[in-house]
């Protein structure tokens, strides 16, 4: 799946028409900023595979891409495997999967890799290069060496289809150097596509990335919240320069109280109905239903 940046997903989907499957709200982690923490959900954590496939079958010709997220999709690894197999056998849709690589992925490594083999794109939530801090952020205990396992995943899948995402949050990132160090170390591990993200809906941990990097960026809402950042010539750690693609995902004033809307945002609000491209996007829940307001 080709990922384009310098765009807002709320204007038009940069990757084409899409169904996002909210596979489960269950997750073994307890990140303080989790958007699923307060999500009441659809009264079930366990995905109803038959119902999901039935709905997917109805809409499959309307879309190009399927994203599978949670919660943590691998919590229900058997059901996930059934779904991914069905998509690959019955459609030509691209699959993007989001995961925090919980312990079950290591315990059931073979099954985990079988599923990854069928996905076109994998987004791994890395949190922090220090495995101790990473566990602290997740509020959970990892039973394997994360960074070693990431290397194994990259070796198995190839680095092109993997994106490592790092949430830049308080109190673990205090300076520009903390960001550069994390990005470079994961890059040296083998990640070629790295996304650093501002945290939305969680004002207490929010960090303004351009401010911390001491760079100027245009307003995320009016100019695009997803941007490829190429000015990394001085991003070096242990004598090794960063040699991948770096993306910055920012939070606009819609999602955080730390951003103030400006005149460009106002102009865009007034005119976007004329210019925003129409696309099909739907969230398919774990019970197989698509909420009408999401289509």
Binding residues vs ligand SF4 (CB under 6 A)? 27, 29-31, 34, 36, 70-72, 100, 125, 138
Give 148 or 201: the residue with its C-beta nearer to ligand SF4. Answer: 201
Give 63 or 199: the residue with its C-beta nearer to ligand SF4. Answer: 199
Give 101 or 248: the residue with its C-beta nearer to ligand SF4. Answer: 101
> In the complex, what is the shortest distance from the CB of residue 175 to ligand SF4, in angstroms, rounded to a whole number?
24
> In the complex, what is the shortest distance from the CB of residue 107 to ligand SF4, in angstroms, rounded to a whole number?
17
SS (H, E, C) the chain: CCCCCCECCCCCCCCCCEEEEECCCCCCCCCCCCCCCCCCCCCCCCCCHHHHHHHHHHHHHHCCEEEEECCCHHHHHHHHHHHHHHHHHHCCCEEEEEECCCHHHHHCHHHHHHHHHHCCEEEEECCCCCHHHHHHHHCCCCCCCHHHHHHHHHHHHCCCCEEEEEECCCCCCCCHHHHHHHHHHHHHHCCCEEEEECCCCCCCCCCCHHHHHCCCCCCHHHHCCEEEECCCCCCEECCEECCCEEEEECCCCCCCCCCCCCHHHHHHHHHHHHHCCCCCEEEECCCCCECHHHC
> In the complex, what is the shortest distance from the CB of residue 153 to ligand SF4, in angstroms, rounded to a whole number?
16
> In the complex, what is the shortest distance from the CB of residue 41 to ligand SF4, in angstroms, rounded to a whole number?
12
Give 150 or 221: the residue with its C-beta nearer to ligand SF4. Answer: 150
Give 31 or 119: the residue with its C-beta nearer to ligand SF4. Answer: 31
């Amino acid at each position: 799946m080709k990922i384009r940046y310098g765009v807002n997903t709320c204007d038009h989907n940069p990757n084409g028409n899409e169904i996002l499957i909210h596979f489960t709200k269950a997750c073994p982690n307890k990140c303080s900023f989790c958007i699923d923490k307060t999500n009441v959900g659809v009264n079930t954590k366990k995905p109803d595979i038959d119902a999901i496939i039935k709905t997917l079958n109805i809409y499959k010709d309307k879309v190009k891409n399927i994203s599978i997220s949670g919660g943590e999709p691998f919590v229900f690894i058997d059901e996930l495997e059934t779904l991914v197999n069905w998509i690959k056998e019955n459609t030509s849709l691209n699959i993007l999967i989001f995961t925090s690589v919980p312990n079950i992925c290591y315990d059931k490594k073979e099954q985990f890799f079988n599923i990854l083999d069928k996905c076109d794109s994998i987004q791994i939530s890395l949190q922090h290069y220090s495995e101790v801090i990473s566990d602290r952020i997740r509020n959970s205990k990892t039973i394997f060496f994360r960074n070693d396992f990431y290397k194994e995943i990259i070796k198995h899948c190839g680095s092109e289809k993997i994106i490592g995402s790092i949430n830049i949050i308080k109190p673990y990132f205090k300076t520009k150097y903390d960001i550069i160090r994390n990005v470079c170390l994961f890059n040296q591990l083998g990640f070629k596509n790295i996304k650093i993200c501002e945290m939305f809906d969680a004002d207490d941990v929010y960090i303004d990335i351009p401010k911390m990097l001491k760079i100027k960026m245009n307003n995320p809402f009016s100019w695009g919240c997803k941007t490829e950042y190429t000015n990394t010539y001085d991003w070096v750690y242990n004598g090794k320069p960063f040699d991948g693609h770096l993306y910055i995902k920012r939070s606009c004033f819609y999602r955080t109280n730390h951003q103030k809307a400006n005149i460009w945002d106002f102009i865009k609000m007034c005119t976007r109905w004329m210019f925003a491209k129409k696309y099909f996007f739907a969230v398919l829940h774990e019970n197989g239903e698509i909420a009408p307001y999401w289509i």
